Chains A and B, each alone.
Chain A
Amino acid sequence: MPEDNTKIDAKKPAKPAAMVEAAEKPKASKKSKSFDTNIDEQLLFGKYPYTDIVVNDLSLANYINLTPKSYPNIYGRSNKGMANIVERLMNKLMRGGTGHKVGGHVIRTEGQLQGKKLKVMHIVEDAFDIVAKNTKKNPLQVFINALERAAPIEDTTRVRYGGISYNVAVDISSVRRVNVSVNNLAFSAVIGAFKNRKTLADALANELILASNNDPNSYAIKKRVESERMARSAR
């Protein structure tokens, strides 16, 4: 990659030429495996490139953060918008069950994942590996497609006009659409892996593939269709 080498030269002109050559030679021979030298070269989990990811939905494009990070973590030092989208999926997976009833039961796991970001990171990595194996695509692109498909555009709330309250259909802002979508994708993985032979990684991979194809068997897609149907009747 000649372009990258020129970038490095421009950044560090003060280095002696021999050192620069020594640093560049192995890089040219092997595939880009370095994690910290150049931001553009960072691959997700050291495997999946960020370069050719496309967000097709214009409304969500501004709120899906795709800054290249090999192991995305902001250590809770900033807000949601600054975090890589994969990190937000991890954060939503760090939970000890569902907070409310799903299918008649509240799911309570034994708290294996609460506060354990590294463990979740490996789970997401495994899930992405499974997706890559099954679909032969970049799993990050599959995840982005799933996000776009699972994001609802309409919801209902109670609005009061002059003392009388109605159920009114409201549109959803793009920030909230991403939030809801990520949450539902992670939530369905927790449900799918509970009291089941499936691991959490299997369940997550399954959900991502289903949702990216707009398959109604996916939990997140079901939720989107349900909320939009209720809103349509309340217009």
Chain B
Amino acid sequence: MAADQPEKPQAPAPAAQVQGQQKAEKPFDGFLAQVVEVVKGRTGIYGEVRQIMAKIMEGQDKGRVIRRNIAGRIKVGDYVRLPDTTREAKQIRVR
């Protein structure tokens, strides 16, 4: 799955983020990623965790799409900061 992803054409950055694209004074922790897909279903004891497929935009794994657990309201096209890009979340089993 990961091998196919780099061949995908890179999506053009949305126009709304012009504000943030100026040069950062100090870099922030983590790697920037964009949400490609919000997986159906929820996990967590209170149902507060959702799974997303996120496309990494910085660092070594740039262009790869990984599955992550995420807390809070999320939608496709959002940017998130991932502390690391090596881990991948387990798939949700629908019963």
Q: Which residues of A contact B (CB under 8 A)?
A: 54-62, 148, 153-155, 157-162, 165, 168-177, 179, 228, 231-232, 235
Contacts and interface: CB of A to CB of B under 8 A. Distances in A.
A157 B79 contact: no
B76 interface: no
B87 interface: yes
Nearest to A160: B45
A159 B49 contact: yes
* A-B pairs, 7 with minimum CB distance: A176-B72, A61-B20, A173-B72, A59-B79, A58-B20, A173-B74, A56-B24
A56 B78 CA distance: 16
A60 B68 CA distance: 19
Contact of B79 (A58, A155, A169, A232): A58
Nearest to A62: B16
B79 A62 contact: yes
A159 B17 contact: no
Contacts of A160: 43-45
A158 B48 CA distance: 10
B7 to A, nearest CB: 25
Given A58-B79, A170-B49, A174-B79, A235 B71 contact: no
Contacts of B24: 56-57
Interface residues of B, number: 34
Q: Main SS of chain A's interface residues?
A: mixed
A62 B78 CA distance: 8
B20 A158 contact: no
A171 B83 contact: yes
B32 interface: yes
A58 B21 contact: yes
Given A171-B71, A173-B78, A56 B20 contact: yes
16 contacts: A54-B19, A55-B19, A56-B20, A62-B16, A62-B79, A153-B29, A153-B83, A154-B83, A158-B44, A158-B45, A170-B70, A170-B71, A172-B72, A172-B80, A173-B72, A231-B83
A173 B73 contact: yes
Contacts of B29: 153
A228 B19 CA distance: 27
A55 B20 contact: yes
A1 to B, nearest CB: 22
Given A56-B22, A56-B25, A61-B19, A171 B68 contact: yes
Given A56-B22, A57-B28, A153 B81 contact: yes
Contacts of B72: 172-177, 179
